[in-house]
Amino acid sequence: MKKKVTGKDVAKAIGVSAMTVSRALNNSPHIDETTKKRVLNAMYNLGYTPNHIARSLVLKRTYTIGVVIPEFTHSFFPEVIRGIEEVVNNSGYRLLLTHSAENHKQEQAALSTLRQNRVDGILISTIQNVKSNKYYRELRNLDIPVVFFDRYFRNIGVSSVGVNDRKCSYKITEHLIQHKYRKIGYLAGHKNIYIAQQRKKGYQQALNDYGLPIVENLILDSGFHEEDGYKAVKKLLNGKKKNIPRGIVAVNDPAAIGALQALNENGIEVPDDIAIVGFSNDIRGELIQPPLTTLDQPAYEIGVRAAKKLIAHITNESEPVEQILIDAPLIIRKTCGC
């Protein structure tokens, strides 16, 4: 294990001051070209690597962006990170990645880690079972800029980037209605999540706009995962016949996939007996039988937009707080039956 070479070592090696080394490194105009070359040469020969830690300490900027993601397994977040990563790297920043595992304590710890590391800004997608947004309101008072992505809150003075859940949910519900479905049920996500609320509202508004009644019994309690959709449909099939819809709008793809499995197991033909649509364009939706009609949640773009907005906040003190909504295109496959 070699000892680390410092700027001073480089300076000593060629008989200049540490400042000259620093100037060579940072392309200062106040340095002779010849001297600069000598320094650069010596750096290379000695295997010098600038100490970003020390640099950060004096500059009070780390050029590092912190990310908090709630889960890793789903294909969505890795894709978002790819988008973030693209922007961040091209802007000379680094990425410090943390993980909340859908757990409040871990999320707090993650935020604390990022702050201790003095990241210049934070991108966060919150955990799901948020009881109140009081905690997140405080992020506004943090000493560094924050941008929410995918899962967000409005009206708390923090910028966010997400899909236009309400509008898109409306769109896919409308798609079913336009194809003559009338009795349309809903597979709901967690009540406390803003996006779940919005998607439900979109579903309800579509029914409303087309003069269809909103039937509470057709709205099934569920969650965001396969097992949630699976259980909800199992329960539905064991319940009263009159509560069984002709079409189902699911809060997301995993829930739809779980539901589809339950339907398949019970010999119910999709879409002939019951149609079903999802939300998020999970990688499996295309392969499952029958292929799932869904909305393409543009993960990569969400990452890109969120990262850009955050860097704007970092760079420009007066960058306006904004709720950025991205449209999710409809992907028509087989489960809608058209």
- Which residues contribute to the site for DNA (CB under 7 A)? 4, 6-8, 15-23, 25-26, 29-32, 34-36, 50-51, 54-55, 57-60
* Cα gap 246→272, rounded to integer Å: 9
Residue 51 near a copy of itself by CB under 8 A: yes
Residue 287 near a copy of itself by CB under 8 A: yes
Contact present, 148 and 124 (Cβ < 8 Å): yes
Smallest gap from residue 82 Cβ to a copy of itself (A): 4
Among 37, 52, 105, 191, the residue binding a copy of itself under the rule CB under 8 A is 52
Residue 89 near a copy of itself by CB under 8 A: yes
Residue 33 near a copy of itself by CB under 8 A: no
Q: Which of DNA, a copy of itself, none has residue 62 at its interface (CB below 5 to 8 Å by kind)?
A: a copy of itself
Q: Applying CB under 8 A, which part among 28-36, 51-59, 265-273, 330-338 lies near a copy of itself?
A: 51-59
Site for a copy of itself in 107-136 (CB under 8 A): 112-113, 115-118
CB of 34 or CB of 287, closer to a copy of itself: 287
Residue 316 near a copy of itself by CB under 8 A: no
CB of 41 or CB of 164, closer to a copy of itself: 41
Residue entry with tokens 């039988």: 289
Residue entry with tokens 């962006």: 65
Residue 73 near a copy of itself by CB under 8 A: yes
**With contacts defined by CB under 8 A, how many residues of the chain interact with a copy of itself?**
45
Smallest gap from residue 319 Cβ to a copy of itself (A): 12
Q: What is the 3-state secondary structure (H, E, C) of the chain?
A: CCCCCCHHHHHHHHCCCHHHHHHHHCCCCCCCHHHHHHHHHHHHHHCCCCCHHHHHHHHCCCCEEEEEECCCCCCHHHHHHHHHHHHHHHCCCEEEEEECCCCHHHHHHHHHHHHHCCCCEEEECCCCCCCCCHHHHHHHHCCCCEEEECCCCCCCCCEEEEECHHHHHHHHHHHHHHCCCCCEEEECCCCCCHHHHHHHHHHHHHHHHCCCCCCHHHEECCCCCHHHHHHHHHHHHHCCHHHCCCEEEECCHHHHHHHHHHHHHCCCCCCCCCEEECCCCCCCCCCCCCCCEEECCCHHHHHHHHHHHHHHHHHCCCCCCCEEEECCCEECCCCCCC
CB of 34 or CB of 141, closer to DNA: 34
Residue entry with tokens 């799901």: 128
Among 6, 22, 56, 103, the residue binding a copy of itself under the rule CB under 8 A is 56
Smallest gap from residue 97 Cβ to DNA (A): 23
Site string for a copy of itself, 317-336 (x = CB under 8 A): x-------------------
Name the residues that contact a copy of itself, by CB under 8 A: 1-4, 49-54, 56-57, 62, 64, 72-73, 75, 77-79, 81-82, 85, 89, 94-99, 112-113, 115-118, 141, 143-144, 283-284, 287-289, 317
